[in-house]
């Protein structure tokens, strides 16, 4: 049974940082692309960041470039999202996802999803 479990969300003030973690189990993810998406109330789920299976290539939404960093540790089956200089508009539920493809940047390309972790940024 494949599971993705996010952690690290919370309430922070604007300008501060958070680090999200996603622990994967149930299959070997070292060949999978991993990504982060977010969904704010009343809005669609949006792409945030993704990394290829090796971690050698990453991609970010324009809104988070320069502030967020995605990384992965295949030995631990874990992917991270370091979020710096947080803004109120970053408030959303953040979802971790895994794709059976070696690279993936769109929601439909992902096969497995976590339950999400809430990130709230106050002004």
CA distances from 6 to 25, 26, 78 (A): 12, 15, 10
Q: Are strands 117-122 and 10-13 parallel, antiparallel or unpaired?
A: parallel
Which residue has better confidence, 52 or 30? 52
The answer on pLDDT for 55 being more than 80 is no
Work out the end-to-end distance of the chain between its first and last CA atoms, rounded to an integer number of angstroms: 40
pLDDT of residue 1: 82
pLDDT at res. 29: 81
- Residue that the structure tokens 């622990």 belong to: 23
State yes or no: pLDDT of 73 exceeds 80.
Answer: yes
């Amino acid at each position: 049974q494949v599971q993705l479990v996010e952690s690290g969300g919370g309430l922070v003030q604007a300008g501060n940082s958070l680090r999200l973690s996603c622990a994967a189990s149930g299959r070997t993810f070292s060949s999978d692309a991993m990504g982060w998406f977010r969904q704010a109330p009343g809005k669609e789920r949006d792409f945030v960041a993704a990394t290829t299976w090796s971690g050698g290539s990453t991609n970010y939404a324009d809104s988070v470039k320069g502030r967020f960093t995605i990384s992965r540790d295949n030995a631990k089956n874990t992917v991270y999202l370091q979020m710096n200089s947080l803004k109120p508009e970053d408030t959303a539920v953040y979802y971790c996802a895994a794709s059976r493809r070696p690279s993936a940047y769109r929601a439909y390309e992902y096969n497995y999803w976590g339950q999400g972790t809430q990130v709230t940024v106050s002004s």
